[in-house]
Structure 1
Amino acid sequence: MTTILRNARLVIGRRILEDAWVSVSEHRIEAYGTGPKTEGVDLRGRLLAPGFIDMHVHGALGYSFGDADPAGISAIVNHHRLHGTTTLLAGIGTDLLPQMSSAAANVAAASLENLAGVFYEGPFLSVERKGAHDPNELRRPDSAELRTLIEAGAGETKLMTIAPELPGGIDAIRQIRASGTVAAVGHTDADYDVTKAAFDAGATVATHLFNGMRPIHHRDPGVIVAAMEDERVTCELITDGFHLDDAMIGYVFRAVGAHRVALITDAIEATGVGDGIYHRGTTTTVVSEGLAMLEDGSSIAGSTLTMERAVQRTVRNGGVNIVDAITSATATPARTLGIDNHAGHIAPGYLANLVLLNDDVSIEAVMSQGSWVSGRWLTQTTQP
């Protein structure tokens, strides 16, 4: 069965093809082109883009990847998929080592089509830049513990954040990379020189740039400048209006380019639920008007963002053009994670993960591996 999607504005690389069509066979893209088609689903000039990829998400609908059962894991993935995220990493935050390992094993065992693997945010982070992480569970890198965490993912550990200034931090980055896992720098008090050493050791991601690190100072440029000037490094941004001033969004895109910006959500279990009080281990988070804060008000505690909203705000509030915003939600994270041979682009042979957007940058439909999972287009039929 071949599905033809016609009369679309198609995001291909860094350009938009007008009057375009895509054919989908089974769960993959078969071909695309331009020109009129009479058969298939009429997309009525809407923008058709690759499905979004979220490298950094912790939860939704009251569930957290750190302690969710199989039903909870599925609920998180499905919620974010409805908002355009067709590929995500399950973020596991700082906790007791056995709990983190167990959570990773549960994620790996879930084997969901939209779940690309495990992301560890902790426990080898800086107490000084802990954010919402429990300082009692933060620790120095240990080779055996690191190996335990990586192996708990059963081959699905894809990304790990570390503070490189900790004793053994640079060696830990080398160990992470040697395992085939992407290493990130974050929740760190590292200075410029240590950060450069971390990148030279193999780290290629700056976890939620600006947050959980030293601010820029003209005599202490720190992680931010080191990351932005290094072409090897992908800079994560949380564009929810709380983590960053909107002016910083456009600034980073202009400074490093969309090919080095990865939009993320850092979404917690409150996402899709609403304001209220949430408990994670020893941590209590209060969500008010969408802003998640620790109970004592000392730190932001993740977000209630979706990738749909992240892309919207990047365009509307950050002044970034739609193609660049989509690139930072698709091609950039795909390349960063090494999955750009099957995800992050609309191309023959790639997974048929697609989002349909209107002029307001709102999602009208989502296709996951060739099947519509949301949208009024579900009722339309196609020709074999």
Structure 2
Amino acid sequence: MDRMTLPMLYHVHGVGPFDFSSMTPGDLDGIDAIARERGVTLVPTIFLRPEYLDTLAAVCQHWQERREAGELAHIAGFGVEGPLLGVSGGVPPAGCWMPDAKTWGRIAALGDLGLGYLVIAPDALALDEEIESGFCFGDLVDLLQQHGVRLAFGHFRHDDPERSAAMTQALIDYVAPAGGDRYRLVTDHLYNDMPRTFVHAWRTPEARKDRPAQLAAVLDRPWRPDTLAEILGPVPATIIQAALDDRLTPMLNFDGNHVDLEICRATVAYLGAERIIGITDHIEVLDMAGEQLHAAQNGLLLRGDNIVAAGSTGFEAQIANMRGLGLSDAEIDQLVRLNPQRAIAPAVSKASS
């Protein structure tokens, strides 16, 4: 079957017995076989720890060689989450660190070997702020783009939403100064791990008692460019407006636990399925990046401190949720095939566009 006709798991941390944050070159055949059996392509997403970089480089090199030989057709590339992330959210602690310029050069060069996107906190540093002497955040952004690595915004700070929104807008303006290429930038999971002014998920029976009133506060007011910041918060409003302007494409999880499905419905209605990538963000083992996870009753996988690290709801269940929202087959195809395929092709730098 032509892999271009298959849906894509664009942001996924593991399938079968494999934790992608610990995979080796020898694991690629097994991962490809699982994807082929399930009728999908996938983008293994790695929480990058310092000690794993050499292995990741070997994985990408091996993948590139095998792809040139016409093999591993169901692995479309790779995504890396971190290392420049905010400390909030379910990032394994070892996955938050600050590489030096030389190490960033090694990471960026993986774009030539299949690294399609890198999740980065857009509010961690200003563009002119130095990572080390003579190498600022803007230089890093340029370097990543030169190697075709797409930025994915995620894991924001929570202490100053207005500041975070302004820094996010500045980075959007720098990378995608005009609309017309909505796949130049993406986000990690929309609404998760970012400051919000609303409740986006009700994960316990106690919390769900408040769901009707809290959900009404989000859905009963019309979503418009001039109301989004008040309804959702400045960070999600900035992202959604940029998506409307065709300057980025956000990812959205439809498992019903990361984000309530009614909020997913409203988001698709406002943006259109053509502007969203549906993701699973799941793993099928209770280990990720060297950290043991445990399952909550709702299916979310938690770290030892009970912070959500990933989901366990796979592709078929999420498709069922999309259909339950009344999305058409064409809309679902946009969410899980067309948009992810377009957003894994090497990013075009603003200098060459």
TM-score (norm 1): 0.66
After TM superposition, give the deviation of residue 71 of structure 1 in Å.
Answer: 4.7
> How many Å apart are 1:221 and its aligned residue?
3.0
Are residue 159 (structure 1) and residue 117 (structure 2) matched? yes
Greater mean alpha carbon deviation, residues 55-64 or residues 171-180: 171-180
SS at match of 1:116: coil
1:105 deviation in Å?
Answer: 2.3
* Cα distance in 2, alignment partners of residues 81 and 178 from structure 1: 32
Q: 1:104 to 1:115 in 2, by over 3 A?
A: farther
1:97-112 mapped onto 2 (5 Å cutoff): 98-110=51-63, 111=66, 112=72
Spell out the pairing of 1:235-384 with structure 2 (5 A cutoff). Answer: 235-270=250-285, 278-289=286-297, 290-297=299-306, 299-316=307-324, 318-338=325-345
1:180 aligns with 2:187: no
| Residues 203-260 of structure 1 deviation map (CA, whole Å, 9 limit, x = unaligned) | 6111111111111462983331111111211110111121010101111111111111
Instruction: Answer whether contact 1:160 1:184 (CA < 8 A) is retained.
Output: yes
Distance 1:281 1:327 in 2: 31
Aligned AA (1:89):
V
Cα deviation for residue 171 of structure 1 reads: 4.0
Return 110-119 or 331-340, whichever deviates more.
Answer: 331-340
Size of the alignment, in residue pairs? 282
Question: Following superposition of structure 1 onto structure 2, how do residues 192-271 of structure 1 map, counting pairs within 5 Å?
Answer: 192-202=165-175, 204-216=185-197, 218=230, 221-230=233-242, 231-270=246-285
The answer to whether the 8 Å contact 1:239/1:313 transfers is yes
Q: CA deviation at 1:262?
A: 0.4
The residue type paired with residue 323 of structure 2 is V
Q: Give the 3-state SS of the residue equivalent to 1:191 in structure 2.
A: helix
Pair 1:92–1:104, CA change in 2 (3 A) = farther
User: Partners of 1:51 and 1:137 in 2: how far apart?
Assistant: 31
Structure 1 position 133, deviation (Å): 1.7
Bigger Rg over Cα: 1
- Is 1:135 matched up with 2:103? no
Distance 1:255 1:157 in 2: 31
Pick aligned residue for 1:91 from 45, 48, 70 = 45
- Unaligned stretches of 5+ residues in structure 2: 67-71, 130-136, 158-162, 176-183, 198-228, 348-353
Shift of 1:185: 0.7
Distance 1:251 1:285 in 2: 31
Cα deviation, 1:94-140, whole Å, max 9, x if unaligned, reads: 312x413412421441431111212110111111x2x2223354134
Distance 1:80 1:266, change over 3 A: farther
Match status 1:50 vs 2:23: no
The DSSP-based 3-state class of the residue aligned with 1:89 is strand
Q: Residues of 1 paired with 2:164 and 2:31: CA distance?
A: 36
Q: Aligned partner of 2:165: which letter?
A: Y
Query: Which stretch of structure 1 is more off in the superposition, 153-162 or 66-75?
Result: 66-75
Aligned twin of 1:365: none
1:121 pairs with 81, 90, 114, which one?
81
Higher strand share: 1
- Indicate how the Cα distance of structure 1 residues 180 and 209 shifts in structure 2: closer, same or farther if over 3 A, else same: same
- Given the superposition, is the C-alpha separation of residues 326 and 170 from structure 1 closer, same or farther in structure 2, using an over 3 Å criterion? same
Does the residue aligned with 1:73 lie in a helix, a strand or coil? helix
**Structure 1 vs Structure 2: percent identity of aligned residues?**
24
Equivalent position of 2:29 in the other structure: 74
User: In the superposition, relative to structure 1, how do residues 256 and 219 fare at CA in structure 2: closer, same or farther (>3 Å)?
Assistant: closer
CA distance, structure 2, for counterparts of residue 213 and residue 119 of structure 1: 20
Q: Distance in 1 between matches of 2:232 and 2:335?
A: 28
8 Å CA contact retained: 1:107, 1:153: no
* Residues 22-81 of structure 1, C-alpha deviations (whole Å, 9 max, x = no match): xxxxx659xxxxxxxxxxxxxxxxxxx931012211212221122223453333333344
Name 1:40's counterpart in structure 2.
none
Cα pair distance change 1:265/1:81, threshold 3 Å:
farther
Q: Which residue number in structure 1 is paired with residue 207 of structure 2?
A: none
Deviations 1:160-194 (A, max 9, x none): 11112223444433321222111111112262111
| Structure 1: runs of 5+ lacking an equivalent | 1-26, 30-48, 271-277, 341-384
Question: Could you tell me whether the CA contact under 8 Å between 2:294 and 2:302 is conserved in 1?
Answer: yes
Say whether the 8 Å CA contact 1:60–1:269 is kept in structure 2.
yes
Q: Distance in 1 between matches of 2:101 and 2:318?
A: 36
CA distance in 1 between partners of 2:82 and 2:288 (Å): 15
Larger relative helix fraction: 2
**CA RMSD between the two structures:** 2.7
Normalized against structure 2, the TM-score is what?
A: 0.72
CA contact (8 A) 1:258 1:328 kept: yes
